[in-house]
Amino acid sequence: MKILSPSILSADFANLGADVKKAVEAGAQWVHIDVMDGMFVPQISFGNPVITALRPVTDAVFDVHLMIEDPGRYVEDFAKMGADIITVHAEACTHLDRVIQQIKACGKKPAVAINPATPLSVLDYVLDDLYMVLVMTVNPGFGGQSYIPYCSKKVRELKAIIKERNLETLIQVDGGINMKTIDEARDAGVDVFVAGSAVFVGDIEANAKALLERIQ
């Protein structure tokens, strides 16, 4: 089953709970929460208070994407606040394996994100421990960017590695996913699709349903 994970970075912050409910009621299975610290990426977004406030709104999976330096400092906090999946960037972790084990020790599902120019080889020794790999299809930090075409090749290569190792690791993409690019991502072998403005700008229910129809 393919999964839609709407990114709340593009939601109306004044009506965040209502927007999330609309997306989930339309069929979105996960909620993607981008946490940005202004250091690993230029922007600052939101942290624990927002996740804590949203957790009672829905039972959907909270897919928390930590775009922060040294994310191991905060893994336990995000786990306590209601994250189900915790994604850290390979580029932000001095000791990637240690952080993955931290996430697992908290009873959460570990995922690792890699930026567009980061090679798949950084995953060689940790892939077996991962629930998911997030292949960034834009350079992280800003919404509304265009999908980088070579990332589709990267997804296909990762899919082949997962199959060769007989793993069940999910592949997620984040960045530039909309009705024009979602087919390419789906055909490359993506399992989980993060979409921001493509869901939250305009009619949320209609947008989510249209994207879900395309990915199944």
Q: What are the catalytic residues?
A: 34, 174
Cα–Cα distance for residue pair 86/78, rounded to 1 Å: 8
Please give the C-alpha separations between residue 140 and each of 58, 115, 145, in angstroms, as whole numbers. Answer: 26, 7, 9
Cα–Cα distance for residue pair 132/4, rounded to 1 Å: 14
Cα–Cα distance for residue pair 163/171, rounded to 1 Å: 12
Q: Say if residues 7 and 201 touch (Cβ distance below 8 Å).
A: no
Closest by CA position to 203, among listed 12, 32, 4: 12
Beta strands in 93-168 (DSSP E): 109-114, 132-136
Cα–Cα distance for residue pair 160/132, rounded to 1 Å: 15
Q: Under DSSP, is residue 13 helix (H, G, I), strand (E, B) or coil?
A: helix
C-beta neighbour count of 68 within 10 angstroms? 21
Cα–Cα distance for residue pair 148/184, rounded to 1 Å: 11
